[in-house]
């Protein structure tokens, strides 16, 4: 009985020793495995991409003379197209350095976008007046006949808008490995500097003769009465041009997270990328506005004689001041990644508060935003 007990104890001791040795071997192998994986990881990532974004941030409208009469007559105002701007298109790129054996990431990135839009509004209509009398020569004599007068009213507006912007980031980040959605996530918190440059320009003109009234006129030559119709109308002309810009630099903070959804990186993984960013930019905001306008009053027996010309004082204003511009943004994308490559497509938004001097006569500020889809491809180098 004693021999059986000793044999059992020896077996238990051997099992414990084997388990202990196995644990030490496993623990000892983890750093080697991690180091091997780290050695296989690329140290440099180069990324390039394309974006197609909308621009938010309208300028104060310029209203030419007779704008109220133009709208009251059913014609569109110049303001209807003054801020129209198509989507910006542009490129972006970045380069990141992730040293072996380190959780730190050093990144430099930039993106550029531009848009140019031309709009024309040409509207015409015929104004029909009341029936009046007009003297004509018929059958060898002057005869007063009933006539319904008409007038070709019109409103023509043209505008050309241009916008461009560039945003550059220089950041140092640390992979904190928070794992917000559980296992298989990477989270990098970065700090650094952001530079933003924005330029916009608009140039337009407006010509309108939207309203006409008709009056009965009469010449008396003794027994002879000659009737005519007078058309009273007012034609306006206006030309405007404006430019504004922002150049600003400041500290930035961002967080980016990648969560694997399907598969592994070695075999090709579908992942969710998302992130948020914030910055406080300090820089100079500039604006320049010019416009000049005139109105001509027409009348006389034919309605084509200029009765008066009203010329408005030309305006030429330039403004410049130092500003502080808060900036917040974020993105979400789906990516397909391998050990040395990654494809991503998603949606991004960046908003800059008070970035634009949108005033025409006096200074006022408007928030500027860029938002839209983007796609990138990344290549890993080194190992």
From the list 100, 109, 114, 124, the residue with the least C-alpha distance to 34 is 100
Summarize the confidence of residues 322-328 as an average pLDDT. Answer: 97
Alpha carbons within 13 angstroms on the beta-carbon side of residue 39 total: 6
Whether 224 is in a domain gets the answer: yes
pLDDT digits (tens, 9 = 90+) for 343-368: 999 999 999 999 999 988 889 999 99
Average the pLDDT over each of 12-16, 28-32, 243-247 and give the range with the smallest value: 28-32
Residue 179 is predicted with a pLDDT of 47
The DSSP 8-state label assigned to residue 61 in this structure reads P
- Cβ neighbours of residue 112 under 8 Å, at least 6 residues apart? 90, 91, 92, 164, 165, 166
- Cβ neighbours of residue 144 under 8 Å, at least 6 residues apart? 133, 134, 135, 225, 227
Residue 21 is predicted with a pLDDT of 36
More confident site: 274 or 60? 274
Confidence check: pLDDT of 131 > 80 = yes
DSSP per-residue codes, 208-270: EE--EEEEEEEEEETTEEEEEEEEEEEEEEEEEEEEEEEEEEEEEEEEEEEEEEES-TTT-EE
Give the pair of three-digit tokens for residue 338.
């391998």
Whether 258 is in a domain gets the answer: yes
Average the pLDDT over each of 8-12, 16-20, 35-39, 124-128 and give the range with the smallest value: 16-20
**The model's pTM:** 0.80
Confidence check: pLDDT of 139 > 50 = yes
Summarize the confidence of residues 155-171 as an average pLDDT. Answer: 96
Average the pLDDT over each of 34-38, 144-148, 182-186, 347-351 and give the range with the smallest value: 34-38
Residue labelled with tokens 């197609």: 52
Confidence check: pLDDT of 383 > 80 = no
State the Cα–Cα distance between residues 232 and 213, nearest whole angstrom.
Answer: 5
% of the chain residues with pLDDT over 90: 58
Across the chain, how many H-helices and E-strands are there?
Answer: 3, 14
Residue 181 is predicted with a pLDDT of 45
Whether 276 is in a domain gets the answer: yes
Cα dihedral 194, 202, 353, 272 in deg (nearest 10): -60
Confidence check: pLDDT of 37 > 50 = no
Domain that includes residue 276, residue range? 41-381
% of the chain residues with pLDDT over 70: 86
Contact 247, 267 (CB under 8 A): no
Whether 302 is in a domain gets the answer: yes
Residue 370 is predicted with a pLDDT of 95
Whether 210 is in a domain gets the answer: yes
State the Cα–Cα distance between residues 345 and 369, nearest whole angstrom.
Answer: 20
Whether 46 is in a domain gets the answer: yes
Confidence check: pLDDT of 201 > 90 = yes
Whether 13 is in a domain gets the answer: no
Whether 221 is in a domain gets the answer: yes
More confident site: 302 or 374? 374
- Cβ neighbours of residue 311 under 8 Å, at least 6 residues apart? 292, 293, 294
Confidence check: pLDDT of 34 > 60 = no
Q: Number of structural domains, the chain?
A: 1
pLDDT digits (tens, 9 = 90+) for 49-78: 999 999 998 888 888 988 999 999 999 999
CATH of the domain at 170: 2.40.128
Confidence check: pLDDT of 204 > 90 = yes
Summarize the confidence of residues 233-260 as an average pLDDT. Answer: 95
State the Cα–Cα distance between residues 369 and 353, nearest whole angstrom.
Answer: 8
């Amino acid at each position: 009985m004693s021999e059986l007990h000793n044999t059992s104890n020896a077996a238990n001791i051997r099992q414990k020793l084997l388990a202990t040795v196995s644990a030490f071997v496993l623990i000892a192998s983890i750093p080697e495995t991690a180091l091997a994986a780290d050695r296989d990881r690329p140290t440099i990532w180069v990324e390039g991409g394309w974006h197609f974004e909308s621009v938010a941030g309208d300028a104060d409208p310029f209203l030419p003379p007779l704008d109220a009469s133009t709208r009251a007559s059913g014609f569109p105002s110049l303001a209807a197209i003054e801020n129209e701007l198509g989507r910006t298109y542009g490129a972006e790129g970045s380069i990141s350095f992730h040293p072996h054996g380190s959780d730190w990431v050093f990144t430099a990135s930039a993106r550029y976008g531009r848009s140019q839009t031309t709009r024309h509004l040409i509207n015409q209509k015929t104004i029909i007046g009341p029936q009046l009398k007009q003297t004509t020569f018929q059958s060898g004599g002057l005869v007063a006949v009933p006539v319904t007068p008409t007038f070709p009213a019109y409103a023509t507006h043209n505008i050309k808008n241009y916008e461009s912007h560039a945003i550059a980031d220089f950041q140092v980040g640390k992979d904190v490995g928070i794992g917000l959605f559980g296992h298989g996530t990477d989270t990098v918190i970065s700090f650094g500097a952001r530079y933003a440059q924005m330029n916009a320009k608009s140039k337009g003109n407006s010509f309108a003769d939207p309203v006409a009234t008709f009056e009965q006129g009469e010449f008396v030559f003794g027994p002879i009465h000659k009737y005519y119709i007078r058309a009273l109308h007012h034609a306006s002309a206006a030309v405007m041009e404006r430019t504004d810009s922002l150049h600003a630099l400041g500290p930035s903070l961002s967080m980016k997270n990648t969560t694997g959804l399907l598969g592994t990186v070695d075999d090709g993984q579908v992942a969710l990328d998302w992130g948020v960013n914030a910055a406080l930019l300090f820089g100079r905001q500039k604006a320049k506005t010019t416009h000049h306008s005139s109105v001509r009053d027409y009348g006389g027996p034919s309605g084509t004689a200029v009765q008066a010309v009203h010329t408005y004082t030309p305006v030429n204003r330039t403004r410049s001041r130092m500003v502080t511009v808060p900036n917040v943004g974020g993105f979400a994308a789906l990516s397909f990644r391998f050990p040395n490559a990654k494809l991503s497509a998603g949606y991004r938004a960046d908003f800059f508060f008070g970035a634009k001097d949108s005033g025409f006569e006096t200074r006022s500020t408007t928030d500027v935003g860029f938002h839209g889809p983007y796609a990138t491809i990344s290549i890993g180098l080194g190992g």
